[in-house]
Amino acid sequence: MPSPIRVSAQNGIFSFFKSPFYYAQNRRGSFFVGFNSTYKIGVIKMKIRKFAYQLLATLALTTNITGGQAVVAQADEPIRIGANLELSGYGSAYGIPILDNLRMAADEINEAGGLLGGRQIEIIEYDNTSNKTEAAAIATRLSDENVSSIIGPATSDMIFASRPTAIESLIPTLYPVGTADELTLDDQGNVLDNIFRLAFTYSFQGRAAARFATEELGATTAVAIIDQSNDYSVGLGDPFMEEFETLGGTIVDRQYYYSGDQDFMGILTALSSKEFDVIYLPGFFTEGGTIIRQARELGITQPILSGHGLASDTLIEIAGAANISNLYITSMFHTGSENPLAQTYIENFTARYGEAPDTFDALSYDAAHLIFTAIEAAGSDDPEAIRQALETVSYEGVTGFFEYDEYHSAVNTAPMLQYENGEVIKTFEVEGN
């Protein structure tokens, strides 16, 4: 097995348009594999050990054996990347950011000269309409269209509907914002060879929030408000409650709602008569923003904790900035990040789309560049070569540093963002395991 590859944001030798290049480094040297979003000029080192050299030689003559003859991949043939996304329907708030950032990342690479010696990236995009049947059909369609890799879907329902076909296709499939614990595992708990995730798992976020509540906020009692129709909400809520009780806390009450609900005064009134230290509100900003606003209007002032499903500027629009106080969210990104890569990304994204990116945007951008990095590291757009590269590559992007564990989950820390009046005022690092 090749040595693990570390990708870092170094300055490239050429400044192409917006973005010079990344280089990847393993124990024996380094070689070009992608690029970052900085403007400085530096040096790309190039030392390739025998294994990597053989991969790059494969790149030069990518072949498909048909009747004993090799078909050489031409430099003008695009590298096809599939996108199976919720561009309409209830999941569009999460699918559209993935496509926006996939397009942005692909445009940057293409303007910089492409991958694998000049080949352009072509995005083969389909709208699954937030429909399980359509998501599964698109997975089949993308497999038939010979894409090198697939990004999406975004939501758990669409992921699990399309995953059987994705598994059968053997095409490396990356879920930028999927968080279900079992997403990369089969029914026996074995890792699926070609399935990868980028975001936190359910249980990682839930446990991290419970630890933060007890260790940083000193909470001994909590209530949970959970969307019982949403796997994400239940998936975070159960580990939070289990971990909170393991740490000596008491869950005073559990209240439940359904996706699409707009009036939460009934459950909030029931909670207002109880004594508790914190509220755990796993879910999405669509309902979460309304719950926060109505809770504050009702006079509930206790700290509210949540997962990255609330980490969107739209939350502020729904809840109102004044109500986004004493709020703590586990999130992999925020616009106040001091990461220079993040700041350059924010600048470029805002210039392109006219608004600042949120967590879903940033994760999607990193997912795209992670795929591009794996393609260069593999020296090929062959799906199996890319899959193997994903297992060993390490990547430093706008949301932090990633490397895959044995379960194809990205290893990362759990930043907890503290909000006051709609602004992040402090970031805590919390252990989730």
- pLDDT tens digits, one per residue of 203-258: 889 999 999 999 999 999 999 999 999 888 999 999 999 999 999 999 999 999 99
- Who wins on pLDDT, 395 or 42? 395
**Residue 84: pLDDT band by 50, 70, 90 thresholds?**
very high
* Domains 79-200+337-398 and 202-331+415-430 equal at CATH topology level: yes
Q: Is the pLDDT confidence value at 73 over 70? A: no
Q: Which CATH architecture has domain 202-331+415-430?
A: 3-Layer(aba) Sandwich (3.40)
Mean pLDDT of the chain: 83
**Residue 329: pLDDT band by 50, 70, 90 thresholds?**
very high
Name residue, tokens 């007890």. 214
- CA–CA gap between residue 121 and residue 100 (Å, rounded): 15
Q: Pick one of 3.40.50.2300, 3.10.290.10, 1.10.10.10, 3.40.1160.10 as the CATH number of 79-200+337-398.
A: 3.40.50.2300
Work out whether the CA dihedral 176, 178, 179, 185 comes out positive or negative.
negative
How many contiguous H segments (helices) and E segments (strands) does the chain have? 12, 19
- CA–CA gap between residue 44 and residue 397 (Å, rounded): 18
- Find the helix or strand (DSSP H, E) in which 244 lies: helix 231-246
> Before 153, cis peptide (omega within 30)?
yes
The domain locations on the chain are 79-200+337-398, 202-331+415-430
pTM to 2 decimal places:
0.71
CA distances from residue 141 to 83, 86, 144 in whole angstroms, order as listed: 11, 16, 5
**Least-confidence region, from 30-44, 89-103, 148-162, 398-412:** 30-44
Give the count of beta carbons closer than 10 Å to the beta carbon of residue 107: 15
10 Å CB burial of residue 174 (0-12, 13-18, 19+) is buried
For residue 259, give the nearest of 234, 289, 227 by alpha carbon.
Answer: 227
E strands of 372-413, at which residues? 393-397, 400-403
Q: Is the pLDDT confidence value at 31 over 80? A: no
